Amino acid sequence: MMLFSKTLFPEKIKNLALLLLIFAAISNPATADDGYRLWLKYERIPNATVRASYSKSFSFIATSGNSDILNNAAKELQTGLNAMLGRQIPIVKTPVSNQHGIILTMSAIAGPGDGYAIQMQGANTVITASKDAGVLYGSFALLRHLQQHLPLEKAVGQSSPKIQLRMLNHWDNPEGTIERGYAGSSLWKWYELPETVDPRYTDYARANASIGINGTVVNNVNASARFLTAEYLPKVAALAGVFRKYGIKTYLSIHFAAPKTLGGLKTSDPLDPEVRKWWAEKTKEIYRTIPDFGGFLVKANSEGEPGPQDYGRTHADGANMLAEALAPFNGVVIWRAFVYKADPAADRFKAAYEEFAPLDGKFAKNVIVQVKNGPIDFQPREPFSPLFGNMPGTPLGMEFQLTQEYMGFATHWVYEAPLFKECLDADTYVNGKGSTVARIIDGSLHQYPLTCIAGVANTGSDRNWTGHPMAQANWYAFGRLAWDHTLSPEAIAQEWTQLTLTTESKDVAAISDIMLRSREIYVNYNTPLGLSRPWTGSHYAPEPWQNRSSRPDWTAIYYHRADTLGLGFDRTATGSNALQQYRPEVRRAWENAETCPLPYLLWFHHIPWAQKLSSGRNLWDELCHRFYTGPDSVLWMQKQWAGVRASVDPATHTDVSGRLVKQYNEALWWRDAWVLYLQTFSRKPIPAPYPKPGRTLDEVKRSVNVYLMR
């Protein structure tokens, strides 16, 4: 097709239009931004004074050591500084006299593990750490500082991670799909590996190292035994070869029944000597292939996965068998506590505690029990898991979910740092006031010898890594909080925005404002007041009416318990008594329906429709208020986002604007589904000033059915 037809555009106008197009393209180089560079953009610093002051300080990068990690630290500084300052800065072995530069050096510093110190010695900037990985983290910290155009002297300081193992868990399958992945297919090209090593793996490692992540589990917890084969281990080794140069260890999820399915044994019983031998041999083989292999992540006796209970053994028996095989190599077992039996009379909320709390102290030294933040499954809001605080003799690791399985996939903009932080700051009261979840998982409360935090990755093969451009912030925030859980979601949002979108201060404030409110907005139209799981298989389309499944806890009605009297799950002493699993101080805060904070109300109480809440509204009116405020707030997000158009890359701006339009339509979909369905029980009118939904319940159900069609 011709761009300009002759009849419509006379020659002169055509030339003028072409000139304008070319001018637009030249003056707007930012259109080239496809999100691939994440927060490592290193844009040229626009302010000449700032540039000049940095330039004076950075004439060279000196590194005397010679490890891959140190070399990568120097290389990253060079790449970043060259781009930000618009000049070439050499990497040298010894500092250049009469010039100012960066010196990377290793020497013992105070503080644990991977920490670093940034100091000014004379006019040189010195990054020191006990380990080369610390120097790498310090280098990224300096680059982060400079990307925000902050005064160099303010970079001085020391920082150490509060948690030892800071990991991503990938739910990636051997055929390239990702369970609950919304950003394309797996990053790992298993078919091409090990011969072809995609340069993207290096960028993945850089991104992780830049936020302090030091471990990655490359395959799904619903694990294929294939990863343990002689065919796959070299593929995993090729990835590990890239990651280790950035201080990242590689781990595998294992299939507990592998001795049978892969090894041809008659059993996978963890107490069987042949089975133990099989794992010991397999582990040796793994370490021969990947000498710094991190260990195993295990989902056992959960959602159909095999495990020790298949043989009448306990989780501890299973974990300890693997721990024994890994111990000679300093490997660890990360054993998941995400379990719930198919007991129709049980409250799924209580399941993990019931199975694991009695096993406290029975796990081997190199086992960590990994607990999801809440007792059910990564809902938009959950109370903290009651396991935190109840296993003082067993290192408990945290599992957060970055991929938005229950939070609108890659369509809805939900900044998750407030969710992470809400859980980390929750007080378990296990050793009195101030016994926060954060202090449990960082080991300071129970002196755990091993500490771990994991995020279920939201990355995929999409060019921008995370599908929704703003979901990059969740990966970023996870890493930053894993390093230092005292950081505020606000500080992280501002930092990420400056690194990724714009340094224009009023727009940084506007974007951070959207981010900070986004999770609550989503909760309002999706699961307000402590509702949960109003969906089935899709984990996306609203189905609060869904009442049929092979087991009751896979229906929506199991969770919300709507009836003509009211709504919510009674977990007090008159109901399932799940509250009993918490300390009295926590219980007291939640057990009284009059005083229970509204965000948790329906998690713990069945509330009559007409009951007056602390907000002054009755339950029905409060629900409607939230369901209607949710979509209205998405309109606010749209408006706020439109206001930052001038300072955000146009392609990113357009992309996010489009997603916000869809988010609004789907927020209305959610609102209408819930309100119309619950109205069949409450039999109350939609309160003023809100309009009645413009569709019937049947129409919403039909639209959901269409969504669910294969």
215-217/566-567 β-pairing: unpaired
Helix (H) or strand (E) holding 698: helix 697-708
**Residue indicated by tokens 């049929």:** 548
396-401/367-372 β-pairing: parallel
* Smallest distance from ligand GCV to CB 308, Å: 17
Is residue 221 close enough to count as binding ligand GCV by CB under 6 A?
A: yes
Which residues 6+ apart lie within 8 Å of 23 measured at CB?
none
Tokens found for residue 19? 């000139």
268 DSSP assignment: -
Q: Which of 377, 490, 504, 655 is catalytic?
A: 377
Output 179 or 292, the one with its CB closest to ligand GCV: 179
* Smallest distance from ligand GCV to CB 432, Å: 32
Report the C-alpha gap between 117 and 134 in whole angstroms. 9
Candidates 206, 245, 299, 533; binder of ligand GCV (CB under 6 A) is 299
Is residue 170 close enough to count as binding ligand GCV by CB under 6 A?
A: no
Residue type, 321: M
DSSP states of 60-82 as a string? Answer: -EEE----HHHHHHHHHHHHHHH
Candidates 256, 338, 363, 670; binder of ligand GCV (CB under 6 A) is 338
Q: CB neighbours (10 Å) of residue 527?
A: 27
Binding characters for ligand GCV, 75-114, by CB under 6 A (x = yes): ----------------------------------------
Is residue 53 close enough to count as binding ligand GCV by CB under 6 A?
A: no
Q: CB neighbours (10 Å) of residue 272?
A: 17
* Smallest distance from ligand GCV to CB 280, Å: 27
Candidates 171, 329, 409, 413; binder of ligand GCV (CB under 6 A) is 171
Q: CB neighbours (10 Å) of residue 10?
A: 10
Output 173 or 663, the one with its CB closest to ligand GCV: 173
Q: Is 416 labeled as catalytic in the residue annotation?
A: no
Tokens found for residue 44? 């040229």
Q: Which residue from 432, 458, 428, 455 is spatially nearest to 440, judged by alpha carbons? A: 428
Output 281 or 303, the one with its CB closest to ligand GCV: 303
527 DSSP assignment: S
Q: Which of 192, 231, 281, 303 is catalytic?
A: 303
* Smallest distance from ligand GCV to CB 300, Å: 10
Output 179 or 198, the one with its CB closest to ligand GCV: 179
Q: Are 111 and 70 in contact (CB under 8 A)?
A: no
Candidates 53, 148, 158, 222; binder of ligand GCV (CB under 6 A) is 222
Side-chain-facing half-sphere of 598: CA atoms under 13 Å:
18
Is residue 513 close enough to count as binding ligand GCV by CB under 6 A?
A: no
The count of chain residues that interact with ligand GCV, using the rule CB under 6 A, is: 9
362-391 positions binding ligand GCV, by CB under 6 A = 377
Output 72 or 216, the one with its CB closest to ligand GCV: 216
**Residue indicated by tokens 């091409």:** 192
- Rounding to the nearest 10 degrees, give the CA dihedral for residues 213, 44, 465, 134: -10
Output 374 or 630, the one with its CB closest to ligand GCV: 374
Binding characters for ligand GCV, 451-490, by CB under 6 A (x = yes): ----------------------------------------
Candidates 14, 75, 180, 277; binder of ligand GCV (CB under 6 A) is 180
Q: Which residue from 418, 407, 518 is spatially nearest to 467, judged by alpha carbons? A: 407
Q: Which of 33, 355, 405, 672 is catalytic?
A: 405
Is residue 637 close enough to count as binding ligand GCV by CB under 6 A?
A: no
Residues with active-site annotation = 303, 377, 405
Q: Which residues bind ligand GCV (CB under 6 A)?
A: 171, 179-180, 221-222, 299, 303, 338, 377
